[in-house]
């Protein structure tokens, strides 16, 4: 649990580094109307972690399902921020799967972690394809 949280701190800086290495824009242009939303969205997940920790303190096996729900909620505004409906599908999957695992399969501790990893890996390809096809259209 601690490793997930500690390594999660580096997701944003690593994404910024990767985008710069790929010579892609690493932020929205100055004055973009969504800049304020981007800043607010950045704090949703870290500020949700106390709730995840409270759920895990009550029942340790709720750690990953609670994290899935918090992460899914974090991705909901990405639909508007990036104009990609695919983030809504990802968010719905994470929230729904987190609820189902927490309610019906809480005895399998790592199921939520593995399912989230697979969903994010799959979405990386889906999101990249959507972004590339949008770039080709413009």
Domain residue ranges in the chain: 34-137
Segment 72-111, tens digit of pLDDT: 999 999 998 888 899 999 999 999 999 999 999 989 999 9
Average pLDDT score over residue span 31-37 = 85
Query: Taking 70 as the threshold, does the pLDDT of residue 138 lie above it?
Result: no
Q: What is the pTM for the complete model shown?
A: 0.86
Within 13 A of 9's CA, how many CA atoms are on the CB side? 6
Share of the chain above pLDDT 90, in %: 54
Q: How far does Cα 70 stand from its chain's mean position?
A: 8
Nearest alpha carbon to residue 40 among 77, 10, 15: 77
Q: How far is CA 36 from CA 30, 64, 86, 116, in A?
A: 11, 29, 22, 28
Cα dihedral 89, 91, 96, 97 in deg (nearest 10):
100
């Amino acid at each position: 649990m601690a490793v997930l949280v500690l390594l999660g701190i580096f997701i944003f800086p690593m994404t910024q580094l990767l985008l710069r290495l790929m010579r892609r824009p690493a932020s929205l242009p100055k004055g973009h109307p969504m800049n304020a939303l981007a800043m607010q969205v950045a704090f949703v997940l870290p500020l949700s972690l106390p709730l995840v920790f409270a759920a895990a303190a009550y029942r340790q096996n709720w750690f990953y399902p609670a994290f899935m729900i918090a992460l899914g909620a974090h991705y909901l505004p990405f639909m508007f921020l990036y104009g990609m409906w695919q983030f809504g599908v990802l968010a719905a999957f994470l929230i729904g799967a987190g609820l189902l695992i927490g309610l019906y399969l809480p005895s399998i501790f790592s199921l939520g972690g593995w399912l989230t990893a697979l969903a994010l890996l799959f979405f990386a390809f889906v999101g990249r394809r959507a972004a590339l096809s949008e770039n080709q259209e413009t």
